[in-house]
Amino acid sequence: MREFIPVTNLNNGLPTYETILNRDFTTPKGAKSCVTLTDNGVCAMVGGREINRFMHTPRIYVDNAATSPMPEAVLQAMMPYLGVSFGNPSSTHSYGQEAQQALETARKRIAQAIGAYNNEIYFTSGGTEADNWIVHSVSKQQAKKGKHLISTKIEHNAMLRPLENLQADGFEITLLEPDRFGMITPEQLTQAIREDTLLVSIMSANNVVGTVLPIQALCAAAHKRNVLFHTDAVQAVGHIRLDVHALGVDFLSISAHKFHGPKGVGALFSKLGLPVTPLIAGGGQEKGRRSGTENVASLVGMAAALEASVTDLDAHLQSIARLRDKLIAGILKIPGAHLTGDPVHRLPGLASFLFEQVPGQLLIPELDKIGICASSGAACSAASKDASHVLLAMGYPPALAHGALRLSLSRYNTEAEIDVILEALPNIVRSVRQKQSV
């Protein structure tokens, strides 16, 4: 349903009529204006929804795999440590001890959320640092065993780039080929392991197509040959049920902003008995393993966000998966649309597509103009005009891989938003195709 309400534009003070999607808010009875535009055309919040600067409609955010919105409860948990409780956790006075206590409470909550022990959690600046750290650590500690590491062609660049650096230093890297659905099998891994293999690193869930990999079985295959196993779980933690000890992994990477926490903080899980070699030298924080004054406020926020994400997780996952499946069913009705990733073993909130004769870099801005915020793949590579290395590794031709669209949902998305996307997308795809054919 759409309704027209008067909007006062501060540029000229005159009321104008704009179309507002009538979903989560209502117009106050008798109101002459319920939205006010700022000078740059961005409206104020209305009933918790921001009004788009192009069309003055509430923006729909479906790019949660890039980063996720932080709820008020997480912000409020952080606020004391941005103000009155500002101490350095390394200080011995009361301010410092307050900060240290907050830090250790956050560590405990994060550990409990993933089934770890408190002293198996090391705080980092995010998933990228955690991935780099484990590659650095294992290559240093296990150097006498050999110089061979195994990963996959669908990993995030946070893993692929450090491996490239090792390769330049004389290490041998084997990257496993995924199938058409982005899946890697234990049999593939077993065949690739050698006597001199130091580490296997395989992501828990792919950030481009959403395929969830069989980490427990892959880890078992590595351990059967006495090889350490790491998983980049940045897209999995907080989105699927995960227990590090049940999985059997030796190391695991986490990033807070993927599960409604603040940016710039994350963690590395390192199994007891497997100490990591420091990547960053300095004051000896994090039990001497990771130097640098800890970002107490953000780590408290990370713990609050993760705890909230895993609370009632099953109910959230069912609700999100239902919206995802509705999105998939509707989009596949568009001529020339293809679903990418495993149709069954995939993240509850991620749906990814390819459109024939539709470059993704043209599709995304057209969606943004009408207030739909999506992506064509990894945010870190969004500025690149190259096709996703993940899609190419899965066997898609470059011409088709360029037409990628990734829609990633969270528990804050609504069915009404899915309806808007399904109404708008076919026309946008048709329009882009017509422009391309001219």
46-69+312-437, what's its fold?
Aspartate Aminotransferase, domain 1 (3.90.1150)
Q: What is the pLDDT of residue 4?
A: 33
What whole-number distance in Å separates Cα of residue 355 and Cα of residue 308? 36
- The structure tokens 């980092």 sit at 124
Length in residues, the chain: 438
CB 306, CB 398: distance < 8 Å: no
Q: Strand runs (DSSP E) across 153-205, as ranges?
A: 172-176, 197-201
Whether residue 373 lies in the annotated active site: no
Q: What is the pLDDT of residue 381?
A: 52
72-310, what's its fold?
Aspartate Aminotransferase; domain 2 (3.40.640)
CB 208, CB 377: distance < 8 Å: yes
What whole-number distance in Å separates Cα of residue 278 and Cα of residue 300? 23
Q: How far is CA 120 from CA 117, 123, 217, 287, 289, in A?
A: 5, 10, 22, 11, 12
Q: What is the pLDDT of residue 379?
A: 57
Catalytic, out of 43, 219, 373, 380 = 380
Q: Within 10 A of 148 (CB to CB), how many other CB atoms are there? A: 18
Residue 408, beta-bridge partner list: 63, 350
Q: Which residues of 195-224 are buried (b: 16+ CB within 10 A; e: fewer)?
A: eebbbbbbbbbbbbbbbbbbbeebbbbbee
What whole-number distance in Å separates Cα of residue 94 and Cα of residue 75? 24
Q: What is the pTM of this model?
A: 0.86
DSSP for residue 6: E
What whole-number distance in Å separates Cα of residue 265 and Cα of residue 248? 24
The string of DSSP letters for 51-120 reads BPTTTSSB-EE-BTTT--PPPHHHHHHHGGGGTT----TT--SHHHHHHHHHHHHHHHHHHHHHT--GGG
Give me the tens of pLDDT residue by residue for the chain, a chain 438 residues long: 333 333 333 333 333 323 333 333 344 344 333 334 333 333 333 334 444 443 445 799 999 999 999 999 999 999 999 999 999 999 999 999 999 999 999 999 999 999 999 999 999 999 999 999 999 999 999 989 999 999 999 999 999 999 999 999 999 999 999 999 999 999 999 999 999 999 999 999 999 999 999 999 999 999 999 999 999 999 999 999 999 999 999 999 999 999 999 999 999 999 999 989 999 999 999 998 999 999 999 999 999 999 999 998 999 999 999 999 999 999 999 999 999 999 999 999 999 999 999 988 899 999 999 999 999 876 555 555 689 999 999 999 999 999 999 999 999 999 999 999 999 999 999 999 998 876
Q: What is the pLDDT of residue 2?
A: 36
In the chain, where are the structural domains located?
1-45, 46-69+312-437, 72-310
